[in-house]
């Protein structure tokens, strides 16, 4: 016991075990998000790649749903919790490798305390968990070779190639990591580029690109065109500013501020060689996606988070190396963590109970800001549909978008195939469906939704006519939150 207390390198295992207990204790209380339900649905049909993302997350889900007893969607979060734990551990190894054990421990803790990495990077069924793990683990092996060995063993380069290939199969943001590594080697380690071991590793890594490119070649490059269309090339300075603030929140404001401060102070002095390494890898996705935010009205703050993650060891070293105000920094971070996670807790409770905006009937006004569709409990909606539709109608359910259909498929435990009509179908357009002229269209209308005619107009545009329309209130907790709109439609 004494050796454990005095050996700080062993503390990381206790910290990771504590992290694991926290996540296991809370994961069932967080409802399935739209992206999770969608991934669970489309993964039922194995594909070389998928419309929104490279295939690895869906392959993992398909394997666990088909070949293990993890049938409850909530339990399928376990592999992603493991990815988060492993990412924290490799950040510890990187911090320890470059700086010290203390920096490594703080790096692991900073990753855990970031709201984005806590949830998307290590709990939710989304591609960020695998992406972060494969990027950070390959970064650790590359760092050992670049800074602490002459050229590395062949087995190390083989592992690097496999890990980067799996990163490419996880999410498109991994492409930035691979390209940035090449850029670093060109400027600082040219001898690596001409080695046979690097060539073998490079060849293995590029294999991870093939499923995406082959699938897109066979499907009119629909993934690439979809992501390209998100850029409108018009100016959105207000959106850029808002999404940058969101990035600070996702990282944890105190951590993000320390990252910016460390960059500022290092720029005033001379950057160390390992800091050049981190910044060359981290800045391209941060700069690129913030430019996208400036020129696009359809972008998201979290796209750049892989870059912020790569700067966590630099941030941890800055915290350890600060001589003045060190305890004030720890106190400030403690207040920040408490405030941010209390806010997240309030949002989760609001999504389940609506305690902040109690509605007694379906005609009461609801504030515009109260929209928790993303974390809505869909079990009530599924029960309403079961109680009001017959078997034939349940077999012909459709919605107008991919996230409603994903939630309904998951809510029905995939007993029925809930399809999508219209162009907001994403990968649903590639799933096998029963062709029919008769559908039961389901739409969810919150009490604060304004456009009453949108669904009617969309039904008409898609060439259908409405036979019967009904509206059934549904509750969030004890209070009415909206209406389940049911349209029985057929082709004109």
Where are the chain's structural domains? Answer: 2-336, 373-491
CA neighbours within 13 Å on the CB side: how many for 297?
4
CA distances from 300 to 69, 243, 292, 453, 454 (A): 35, 7, 9, 28, 25
Mean pLDDT for each consecutive 10-residue tract of the chain (492 residues)? 64 94 92 94 95 96 85 88 97 96 96 96 96 98 89 92 98 97 94 93 97 96 84 81 96 94 78 85 96 88 96 94 81 93 92 79 73 88 94 92 95 92 92 78 87 83 91 88 92 86
CA neighbours within 13 Å on the CB side: how many for 233?
2
Sequence-distant (6+) residues with CB within 8 A of 80 are 122, 123, 124, 125, 126, 129, 130
Classified as helix, coil or strand, 356 is: coil
Other Cβ atoms less than 10 A from the Cβ of 326: the count is 12
Q: In what order do the strands lie in the sheet with 397-399?
A: 419-420, 397-399, 438-446, 479-491, 464-476
Distance CA 205, CA 440 (A): 46
Element (H, E) at 46: none
| C-beta separation of 354 from 479 below 8 A | yes
Distance CA 130, CA 167 (A): 7
> So what's the pLDDT on residue 134?
98
| C-beta separation of 320 from 258 below 8 A | no
- For the purposes of burial, counting CB atoms within 10 Å of the CB of 54, is it exposed (0-12), middle (13-18) or buried (19 or more)? buried
> So what's the pLDDT on residue 363?
60
> So what's the pLDDT on residue 357?
82
> So what's the pLDDT on residue 3?
56
Rounded CA Rg of the chain: 24
């Amino acid at each position: 016991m004494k050796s454990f207390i005095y050996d700080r390198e062993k503390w990381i295992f206790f910290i990771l075990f504590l992290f694991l207990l926290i996540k296991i204790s809370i994961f069932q209380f967080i409802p399935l998000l739209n992206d999770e339900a969608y991934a669970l649905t489309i993964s039922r049909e194995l594909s070389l790649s998928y419309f929104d993302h490279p295939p690895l997350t869906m392959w993992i889900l398909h394997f666990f749903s088909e070949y293990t007893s993890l049938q409850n969607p909530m339990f399928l979060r376990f592999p992603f919790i493991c990815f988060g734990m492993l990412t924290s551990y490799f950040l510890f190894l990187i911090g320890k490798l470059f700086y010290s054990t203390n920096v490594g421990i703080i790096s692991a803790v900073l990753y855990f305390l970031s709201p984005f990495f806590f949830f998307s990077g290590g709990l939710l069924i989304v591609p960020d968990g695998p992406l972060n793990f494969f990027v950070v683990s390959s970064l650790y092996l590359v760092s050992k070779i670049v800074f602490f060995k002459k050229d590395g063993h062949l087995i190390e380069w083989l592992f690097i190639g496999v890990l980067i290939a799996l990163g490419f199969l996880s999410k498109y943001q991994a492409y930035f990591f691979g390209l940035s590594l090449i850029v670093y080697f060109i400027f600082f380690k040219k001898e690596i580029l001409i080695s046979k071991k690097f060539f073998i590793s490079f060849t293995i890594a590029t294999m991870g690109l093939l499923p995406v490119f082959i699938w897109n070649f066979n499907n009119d490059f629909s993934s690439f065109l979809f992501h390209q269309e998100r850029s409108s090339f018009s100016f959105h300075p207000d959106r850029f500013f808002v999404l940058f603030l969101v990035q600070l929140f996702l990282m944890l404001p105190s951590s993000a501020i320390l990252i910016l401060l460390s960059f500022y102070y290092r720029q005033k002095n001379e950057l160390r060689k390992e800091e050049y390494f981190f910044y060359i890898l981290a800045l391209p996705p941060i700069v690129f996606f913030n430019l996208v935010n400036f020129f696009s009205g359809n972008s998201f703050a979290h796209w750049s988070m892989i870059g912020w993650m790569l700067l966590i060891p630099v941030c941890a070293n800055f915290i350890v190396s600060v001589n003045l105000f060190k305890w004030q920094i720890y106190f400030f971070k403690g207040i920040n963590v408490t405030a941010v996670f209390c806010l997240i807790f309030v949002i989760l409770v609001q999504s389940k109970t609506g305690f902040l905006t109690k509605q007694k009937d379906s005609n009461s006004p609801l504030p515009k800001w109260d929209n928790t569709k993303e974390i809505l409990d869909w079990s009530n909606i599924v029960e309403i549909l079961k109680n009001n539709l017959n078997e034939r109608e349940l077999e012909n359910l459709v919605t107008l978008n991919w996230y409603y259909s994903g939630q309904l498929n998951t809510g029905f435990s995939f007993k029925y195939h809930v399809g999508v009509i219209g162009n907001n179908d994403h990968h649903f357009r590639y799933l096998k469906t029963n062709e029919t002229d008769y559908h039961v269209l389901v739409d969810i209308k919150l009490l604060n939704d304004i456009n009453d005619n949108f669904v009617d107009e969309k039904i008409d545009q898609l060439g259908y006519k409405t036979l019967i329309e009904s509206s059934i209130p549904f509750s969030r907790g004890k209070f009415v939150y909206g209406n389940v709109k049911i349209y029985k439609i057929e082709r004109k």
